Chain A
Amino acid sequence: MKPFRADLHIHSLLSPCGSLEMSPATIISHALQKGLDMIAVSDHNSTLHCELMVSMGKKAGLTVLRAAEVTSAEEVHCLVILPDENAAHSFQMWLDCHSMNIPNHPEIFGYQVVIDENENIIREIDHFLPASLSASIDMVEAEAHHLGALFIPAHIDRPSMSITSQLGFIPEDLYIDAVEVVGKIPELLYPVIRNSDAHIPEHIGRRYSTYLMESPTFSELAMAIKGEEGRMILSVTP
């Protein structure tokens, strides 16, 4: 087993707040430059860039995991890291079912575009992606685990859109695989990971976690986060 560096929270240009520079090719080349072995593409309430990024990552020698940064009805941001293409497809249908369909105003919030490998725009998303879903955080967690995904409340120490800001404290009956922390590591009973939450290329890999695993894959990551069979979270960046 050996250490692998992973940044599991990166927005592509599909997120309205993601820079238009955040094309799959740019994300992958920056991740490789930073020495990352594995990334996850986690746009707001959408998995629509996952398949393109997985296949482009494969060609470039970088593991890309499918993910989304979900906004629950309580306005809590949660990373859902998905095991495979089928799960991502099912999760996208679930996201579409629970969208409140609030229109996006690109001139205010930014453009939400899906592109192909030649960076041609193939689709523009009309509803404002970061808006909260109609699904409660309990429902997000249940759906994530139903699909075999990892459920990770995002930036839990931020003063907005975090489980702590919205709910005051972490409900102890919520089944949480790990928490993502930005600042000082709190004393918690949950595994702690760090990710960049990059919206611009320069931020990719500014925070990451190192996992001891056999190979950079979803199943190895899941074991490392759960501390199973010798896999573990080795360290997080300061």
Chain B
Amino acid sequence: MKVTDIVQKLDLKVFSGHDGLGREVKGGYSSDLLSDVMGHSDAGDVWITIQTHRNVMAIASLKEIAAIIIASGEKPGDDTIAQSNEEGIPILGSDLPAFETAGKLYTLFN
């Protein structure tokens, strides 16, 4: 499954990082504590969060996250968007809260 498949199936906005829409997705992780994501996410995960601080992109890059989904209709800042475009790691948007977004994503893997 690719990031673009998830965008279509979950009807997500694409804020940035369009170059990375073809990245392969291997799983998912949901957390707003960046220290937790650093410790427990895996390369190729789609990461669901409501945290919008620019450090989100640094962690995503470090952990080779496939794409970030910002839940609850939150929006990333300009500096976060710029880094997403530079790194080619897409930031996607869901109007649903993290729980529903994760529920829908989970069904795609099972």
Closest residue of chain A to B77 (Cβ to Cβ) is A136
Docked Cα-Cα span, A123 to B59, in Å, equals 44
Any B CB within 8 A of the CB of A84: no
Give how many A-B residue pairs fall within 8 Å (CB-CB): 33
* Overall SS of chain B's interface: helix
| CB atoms of B35 and A74 under 8 A apart | no
Contact with B along A152-174 (1 / 0, CB 8 A): 00000001000011111101000
- A167 to chain B: which residues have CB within 8 Å? 34-35, 53, 55
Any A CB within 8 A of the CB of B58: yes
- A136 to chain B: which residues have CB within 8 Å? 53
Any A CB within 8 A of the CB of B38: yes
Any A CB within 8 A of the CB of B10: no
Interface size class of A (residues with CB under 8 A): 10 to 19
| CB atoms of A166 and B54 under 8 A apart | no
Docked Cα-Cα span, A200 to B59, in Å, equals 37
* Overall SS of chain A's interface: loop
Any A CB within 8 A of the CB of B85: no
Docked Cα-Cα span, A165 to B36, in Å, equals 7
Any A CB within 8 A of the CB of B72: no
Any A CB within 8 A of the CB of B105: no
Any A CB within 8 A of the CB of B37: yes
- B59 to chain A: which residues have CB within 8 Å? 168
* Min C-beta distance of B69 to chain A, whole Å: 18
Docked Cα-Cα span, A136 to B32, in Å, equals 15
- B58 to chain A: which residues have CB within 8 Å? 168-169
- A74 to chain B: which residues have CB within 8 Å? 51, 53
Any A CB within 8 A of the CB of B1: no
Docked Cα-Cα span, A219 to B22, in Å, equals 55
* Min C-beta distance of A134 to chain B, whole Å: 12
Q: Other than the known A167-B53, A167-B55, what 6 A-B pairs have Cβ atoms closer than 8 Å? A: A136-B53, A137-B53, A165-B34, A166-B35, A166-B53, A168-B55
Q: Which residues of A contact B (CB under 8 A)?
A: 74, 136-137, 159, 164-169, 171
